[in-house]
Structure 1
């Protein structure tokens, strides 16, 4: 459920960092950024925490290996946090942070709510629990295009047939991702195609942000009880309510997040209302920058995902 409380006005730059979510991964992503010191340091931190070479994962993993939830989440988060740290080191500091799904944890790191070491351990546990839930309750996700939320809700109700099928990512611009059992999602895709709608199956290994992830909630809550959170130094907008996160609600948000839809469109709209002037995606794939374009074609946006795009952004917005 959305929190209708308005946000506080952003700083004069109106810069929003957006941290990429799972599904944007691709072998070799960010490989040409690994020699940037801040990026290298973050990957080294992730490798130390996990006892494995995370940089090798993004350089060398096969698509099948990288798509596994347990690998995709770590690789994407390391890249987002590393790029965010590198931009900050060059004087480009965000006025607000917005992550997408997994990216919410990356945003919490960049917002000062989580230490990097704690975040990578948290992501490892989160991905393990989600992977176990996905193994026990197989599911898939599909992006439906040119659809409204009422239409998506009606389609899910029509095609569920007593199986799990729900809107999972409210992306805006007529795009809504549904999640559920493979058979139910296939029925919905076929029904939407029959009405001349288009869809695209996502490269995820489970039905995230749906009730199929419910088995992960209790053990994740137990884990989060031992994690230290701090108050953010800049606003971090949560996915569940499209509202700023704080220490008091951080754990509850992250647990609910597993089975709740991502309120991306509402989050972008609320940030625009308080002075967002640039939405810069740190991560890979440009998915979030493209979603911002769908929501508002006039909104300034950037996808910072490789060395050329990083250097161009630093040249335009960096400070000596």
Structure 2
């Protein structure tokens, strides 16, 4: 197969928790002697990735973070000339670590806190995230409002992935009902196995703990410009990063806007650091930038 090899480096994008578990295991086990993997395994009290309960958000999120960093370091190194980096949901923290704005080990501590606050919130008030695909914004809004009216619960948009794909998050009964109603209107519906109402106002219950953890971080000016999926703005200094990540917990992921901002910042394509290719899959439904396959990257 002949591929067109691009000479300019792509931007690097990091996914959230909905990644390929098998790909995570392969990366972690292949690099178990790396300090970041040793720290991860020690915290989880395991010796290999297969022992990890990946469905437990408290474990799945730190694993996704570490595997994403290892993937990009293996491909480009830690000092690559990357035009921009960005992340979807928890990938925002991975992007900040890759950019140099956040020490990777500090970022790992933050990821463990992130999993814990999500777990805590879900125990207080069970929640779900539901992805609705293939129907318009007005139909999503209609299903959401009907579900809220019938259940009396909270349900809000928590992610805008692109044309025809919106994520709702809130009380479990409301999310389930909205999914059922959307399915009746022709939507493809996927419930995400993530504990915690991330990017939803239900997380205000655990916001003080999250804010405290974020404010303990030592942020530096990023070596690589970072586009935030919170507000689709480019960050080139450490100013305001603590406040950005505090708001991150409650505000929706504006992924399609962030990708468009990465293009405006000079990226001509993006590479999904993974594990897996969930971001590349999302881009097939409409994206301001194409996602390159690994074999399309220039081999140095």
Write the distance in 2 (CA, Å) between the matches of 1:275 and 1:118. 29
- 1:24 CA displacement: 1.7
- Determine the C-alpha separation between the residues in 2 that align with 1:116 and 1:142: 30
Secondary structure of 1:284's counterpart equals coil
Within 5 Å, which residues of 2 pair with 1:33-72? 33-34=27-28, 40-47=34-41, 50=43, 52-53=45-46, 56=48, 58-61=49-52, 65-72=53-60
The CA RMSD over aligned residues, in Å, is 2.4
Deviation at 1:120, TM superposition (A): 0.6
What's 2:249 paired with?
258
Partner of 1:160: helix, strand, or coil? helix
The answer to which of 35-44 and 150-159 deviates more is 35-44
SS of residue paired to 1:82: helix
Residue 154 (structure 2) pairs with residue 164 (structure 1): yes
Q: Distance in 2 between matches of 1:90 and 1:101?
A: 22
2:108 is the counterpart of 1:120: yes
SS in 1 for 2:189: strand
- Asked whether the equivalents of residues 84 and 282 of structure 1 are also in contact (C-alpha less than 8 Å), the reply is yes
Q: Residue 197 in 1 paired to residue 187 in 2?
A: yes
CA distance in 1, matches of 2:265, 2:77: 26
Contact 2:57 2:119 in 1 (8 A): yes
Taking structure 1 as reference, are residues 153 and 60 closer, same or farther at Cα in structure 2, changes over 3 Å only?
A: same
TM-score by length of 1: 0.83
Task: State the shift of 1:124 in Å.
Answer: 0.9
Q: Is the CA contact 1:278–1:300 (under 8 Å) kept in the aligned structure 2? A: yes
SS at match of 2:271: strand
**Residue number in structure 2 paired with 1:306:** none
User: In structure 1, what is the equivalent of residue 207 of structure 2?
Assistant: 217
- 1:29 corresponds to 2:23: yes
Change in Cα spacing, 1:124 to 1:33, as seen in structure 2 (3 Å) is closer
Give the drift of 1:96: 0.8
Structure 2 residue runs without a partner (length 5+): 1-6
Which runs of structure 2 are paired with 1:181-196 in the superposition (5 Å)? 181-196=171-186
Partner Cα separation in structure 2 for residue 37 and residue 152 of structure 1: 42
Q: Which moved more, 1:108-117 or 1:237-246?
A: 237-246
Counterpart secondary structure, 1:129: helix
Deviations along 1:147-192, one digit per CA (max 9) or x if unpaired, are 3334433432222123111111100031111111121112211211
* 1:97 and 2:90 are equivalent in the alignment: no
Using the size of structure 2 for normalisation, the TM-score is 0.88
